[in-house]
Amino acid sequence: MTSYTDSTSSAPPPLRYKIAHLLAIIAFPLIGLGRWLGRVSSWLVLVVMFMVLTTVVMNALGMNELVSWENKIFLLGNSITINSATEMQWHLFGLLTLIGGSYALHSDTHVRVDLVHHHLSPAGKHWVDIIGHLVMLIPFCVLIAWLSKHFVQMSYVSGEQSNYGGLTDRFLIKAALPAGLILLAVSALGQVFDRLARILDPRRDAQENPNAE
Amino acid sequence: MLNEYGLAIAMVLALLVGIFSGYPVAFLLGGLGILFAFIGDIPIPFLGTVGSRIFGGVIENWLLIAIPLFVFMGLMLEKSGVARNLLLTLQRLFGRVRGGLAISVALLGVVMAASTGIIGASVVMLGLLALPVMMRQGYKPEMAYGVVAASGTLGILIPPSIMLVLMGSILNISVGDLFKAALMPGLMLGVLYTLYLLVTAYIKPEWAPLASEGEDAHLTEQHAPMLVALLRDLAGPVVLIVAVLGSIMAGIATPTEAAAIGAAGSLVLALGLRQLNWSALRTVCRDTSKTSAMILFVVIGATCFSVVFKKLGGDDMIVDIITGTGLGPYGLLLLLMGLIFILGFFLEWIEISFVVLPLLVPVVEGLEFAGVSSSGLMVWFAVLVAINLQTSFLTPPFGYALFYLKGIAEGNVGIGVIYRSIIPFVALQLTGLVLCIAFPAIVLWFPGLTK
């Protein structure tokens, strides 16, 4: 048995590395999606700022309606009022937050208490993530997303819209909640594959930082 | 009690174990909620309310939009060099006073950390900015590290603090009132720090050399004339902070509106310094998105945890335990403060505000204290919690502002030196906390909530 382990450390069986390679290939698009969406959506903070400033200015000038038109269009209805701008703020804020959750996952920004974690080996840290994702994060995301289906459907069927002449099609932002949670579950799944690949082939940890920008 | 509350107790224990594994707390909260819903046989449709609560409490919560905007403002001021210039100019302004540099750092901490909100981030930022300057000038580490840790954490108390925005949302009290209430205690602590620094520098001049005695003496000569430097480096940030705070406190602007103005103002200041380029803006936007998502996902996870914890009788259990002690109002207050102080060793203020605070509200609500009106009770309590948490983050051996500081310490500064440097500040903090408990008017006078 001892000789076996010795032989693995001097000349590792190629199979182990092949599996690691395969896992890394599966992980790549899953992680890439969350990271790419996160980078793009991070610009929304500027749009949110602009929207808030717009309402401040409209308020100060006593304006209510910016433009209006004949036929109802998607999301906006038939005019842009101060209430559309106000509601647009939290619509965009919601997207920023929900997508940002996956982005923060990939950059390891989420708060950890690292009194113990700090002293774990790289493989130990990977196992914490793998088990946590499979037992905690993924069930939470999938279940809450699935249970939100009803509340999105209700909103769609009843044609829910702003009570104050703001945005229409409220189901869109409601659907963003389950969509954001599913994105987070997919991101977590990608990390599980990635961490498994790193455990099987520790050279991968040295090659690249798992949490680059 | 074990039969009645067995699952609620198990849930708390599981949370503690999970937290120490180092798995992200936000996800742990959500996952444990689901897990215990299954263990406790809670009907699945009941969990459906979690989704609509998250929607109503986070996404549709207009107040929380202030969070990414304040984070953006803080990061922009830091990345564009506005903060660094401010420190250099303050240093020149106070350069002739012994201990002046330390006071400048304390001032910078108050102005800057306010907007970053995350303890780790603001201590690291202030440390990276100020420690090299202080060390070059020959400051004793025993003095320098304490100032950085204390002023870096003072930001969670001094408005516009994100923590106060969140507490306002949790406790259902006006953020404007909270800002007003926190201002006096925050300034009082700032004054206590300054007095301590001046006295120490007077007694032990070798701990705090003047700029002219250090290697940086040449820097004071190279700069623009004093008046220009003051206008350029000091006026901008000060006007910005005053505008943001003033408009909230005067009730002209909501916190969200003021935050947007602050964010836009920080962009203008960066433009004015010709420091606003594509890559800086991109970095600030990305970091803003990650930081605010990190905060808000704790809220999302805590929503799920609390719904299930409440269903399992956890809320009643907490109230039973606390009222079961038979303590009077002040005894209970000290008990709660002690509990929060200990939790502060392990958790950020985000988890404490979202998971612990709502559980304590029913206990506090019924209490009466001398000099505290019923409308001011929650405001007072929130400010006490804020001072308490800040102290907890600074207290050795666990205070984790200290670990962050150790992480960026130069050379062979041991954790022992950092501990020694912080102890006087912990004493000042506790003095401030005791004063605010004994004289609630310090907190409640400015918002006009005294009895």
pLDDT in tens, B366-414: 888 888 888 899 999 999 999 999 898 888 777 778 877 877 776 667 7
Residue B116 confidence (pLDDT): 58
Which 50-89 residues of chain B touch chain A by CB within 8 A? 50-52, 54-55, 58-62, 64-65, 68-69, 72
Peptide bond into B397 cis (omega under 30): yes
pLDDT in tens, B20-56: 888 998 999 999 999 999 998 888 888 888 998 899 8
Q: State how far the alpha carbon of B248 is from the alpha carbons of B68, B176, B202, B241, B254, in Å.
A: 17, 6, 39, 11, 6
**B394-426 exposure pattern, b = at least 16 Cβ within 10 A, e = fewer:** bbeeebbbbbbbbeebeeebeeebbbbbbebbb
The interface predicted TM-score of the complex, written ipTM, equals 0.89
Residue A102 confidence (pLDDT): 96
- How many CB atoms neighbour CB B291 within 10 A? 24
- A73: enclosing H helix or E strand: strand A65-73
Type of residue numbered B62: W
Residues ≥6 apart with Cβ < 8 Å to B258: B66, B160, B243, B244, B245, B247, B248
pLDDT surpassing 70 at residue A211: no
CA angle A125, A130, A135 (to 5 degrees): 125
Contacts of A52 in chain B (CB under 8 A): 65, 69, 256-257, 259-260
How far, in Å, CA of B144 to CA of B131, rounded? Answer: 7
Residue A10 confidence (pLDDT): 56
pLDDT surpassing 90 at residue A197: yes
Cβ <8 Å between B346 and A96: no
**Least confident residue range of A37-41, A74-78, B178-182, B350-354:** A74-78
Tell whether B259 is within 8 A of chain A (Cβ): yes
Type of residue numbered B179: F
Question: What does the mean pLDDT of chain A come to?
Answer: 86
Residue B1 confidence (pLDDT): 55
Exposed, middle or buried, B73 (CB in 10 Å: 0-12/13-18/19+)?
Answer: buried
Type of residue numbered A96: L
Looking at the DSSP bridge assignments, the partners of residue A67 are: A80
Cβ <8 Å between B292 and A147: no
**Least confident residue range of A178-182, B6-10, B64-68, B404-408:** B404-408
Is the CB of residue B112 less than 8 Å from the CB of residue B157? no
pLDDT in tens, A10-68: 566 688 888 999 999 999 999 999 999 999 999 999 999 999 999 998 888 887 887 78
Q: Calculate mean pLDDT across residues B296-312.
A: 90
- Nearest residue of B to residue A49 by CA position? B260
Residue A35 confidence (pLDDT): 95
Residue A208 confidence (pLDDT): 62
pLDDT surpassing 90 at residue A110: no
Contacts of A129 in chain B (CB under 8 A): 23
pLDDT in tens, B245-261: 888 888 888 889 999 99
Cβ <8 Å between A96 and B28: no
- Please tell me the distance in Å from B254's CA to the nearest CA on chain A: 10
Cβ <8 Å between B260 and A52: yes
How far, in Å, CA of B144 to CA of B443, rounded? Answer: 29
User: Which pLDDT band holds residue B74 (cuts at 50, 70, 90)?
Assistant: confident
- pLDDT > 90 in chain A, percent: 52
How far, in Å, CA of A65 to CA of A76, rounded? Answer: 12
Cβ <8 Å between B52 and A111: no
Tell whether B296 is within 8 A of chain A (Cβ): yes
Q: Calculate mean pLDDT across residues B190-200.
A: 91
Residue B30 confidence (pLDDT): 94
**A16-36 exposure pattern, b = at least 16 Cβ within 10 A, e = fewer:** eeeebeebbebbeebbebbbe
Q: Calculate mean pLDDT across residues A89-111.
A: 92
- A78: enclosing H helix or E strand: strand A77-81
pLDDT surpassing 70 at residue B166: yes
How far, in Å, CA of A66 to CA of B394, rounded? Answer: 51
Looking at the DSSP bridge assignments, the partners of residue B450 are: B372
pLDDT surpassing 50 at residue B293: yes
Question: What does the mean pLDDT of chain B come to?
Answer: 85
How far, in Å, CA of B234 to CA of B77, rounded? Answer: 12
Q: Calculate mean pLDDT across residues B428-448.
A: 93
Cβ <8 Å between A147 and B24: no
- pLDDT > 70 in chain B, percent: 93
Name which of B23, B44, B263 is nearest A136 (Cβ-Cβ): B23
pLDDT in tens, B89-129: 887 777 778 888 888 888 888 777 555 566 666 787 788 88
**B126-158 exposure pattern, b = at least 16 Cβ within 10 A, e = fewer:** bbebbbebbbebbbbbbbbbbbbbbbbbbbbbb
User: When comparing pLDDT for A193 and A60, which is higher?
Assistant: A193
- Nearest residue of A to residue B278 by CA position? A43
Is the CB of residue B229 less than 8 Å from the CB of residue B92? yes
Tokens 């940030």, residue located: B237
